[in-house]
Amino acid sequence: MSSRLAGRVALISGAASGMGASHARAFVAEGAAVVIGDIADAAGAALAAELGERAAFAHLDVTRSEDWDAAVAEAVRRFGKLDVLVNNAGVLDGGPIGTYTEKQWQHVLSVNLTGPFLGLTAARDALVAARPAAVVNISSAAGMQGVAGMHAYTASKFGLRGFTKSAALELAPHGVRVNSVHPGGIVTPMIGAMTGDVTVDRDADTLKRLGAPEEVTSLVVFLASSESSYCSGAEFVVDGGMTAGSTFG
């Protein structure tokens, strides 16, 4: 075990599976205490049990402000403070304009964009009290460039990139840094639902392969730690070169 996050207390939304679970594992391994917040109660509680004393599970639907208040309170009650918030929970769907429904649009926006707003609203005072604090908003490569057919998802991830900047500017004087992370295609249940079973071939050309959750986690650990003390309001892309531009030949 190393100690890049020794003494830190983090709340990670959507941490029961995929990248969020990878972040939770690494945070505990790096010395932090973690509250795993998710709607997936069984998987979240099992992960907390696996991670031991420095992990707890809180039922958290990121679209419900009362759930956020309870999760923040649980972090403070159990571990004494909250100095890292990772807004990771997200949902993905798509469909052509004309077919894609308002209900679908509202659901994706409420989880991917309103969720982080409600999270930071609930956590703000605890983060300021625990300063220096860090917020890591998990956007996407779809927050840097459009994806055909994924209208709400693209809009939500661009929106989260913008909210990151307004929050970073407002909270900098209070000792809270806020940054966004923009993963490309990462092998998780979310992508598995679209592509079926896939694995990461780390020997393959970066432009041609999917990423592993841990390749995003190392960036999230950096942004949660004092190693990134001069980073705020910034975009951190981890996409194997996907958004760098086009290639010929």
**Shortest spacing between CB 173 and ligand NAD, in angstroms:** 28
The distance of Cα 231 from the centroid of its chain, to the nearest Å, equals 17
Examine the residue annotation and report whether 230 is marked as an active-site residue of this protein: no
The distance of Cα 156 from the centroid of its chain, to the nearest Å, equals 13
**Shortest spacing between CB 174 and ligand NAD, in angstroms:** 25
Binding site for ligand NAD (CB under 6 A): 13-14, 16-20, 38-40, 60-63, 88-92, 111, 138, 140, 183, 185-186, 188-191
Instruction: Between 113 and 133, name the residue whose CB sits nearer to ligand NAD.
Output: 113
How far is the C-alpha of 21 from the C-alpha of 1, rounded, in Å?
17
Instruction: Between 107 and 174, name the residue whose CB sits nearer to ligand NAD.
Output: 107
**Is residue 114 classed exposed, middle or buried when 0-12, 13-18 and 19+ CB atoms within 10 A define those classes?**
middle
62, 111 Cβ separation under 8 angstroms: yes
| Nearest by Cα to 82 from 10, 135, 175 | 10
User: Which residue in 57, 68, 117, 153 is the catalytic one?
Assistant: 153
Instruction: Between 117 and 230, name the residue whose CB sits nearer to ligand NAD.
Output: 117
DSSP letter at 89 equals -
**Shortest spacing between CB 61 and ligand NAD, in angstroms:** 5
Q: Which residues are catalytic?
A: 153
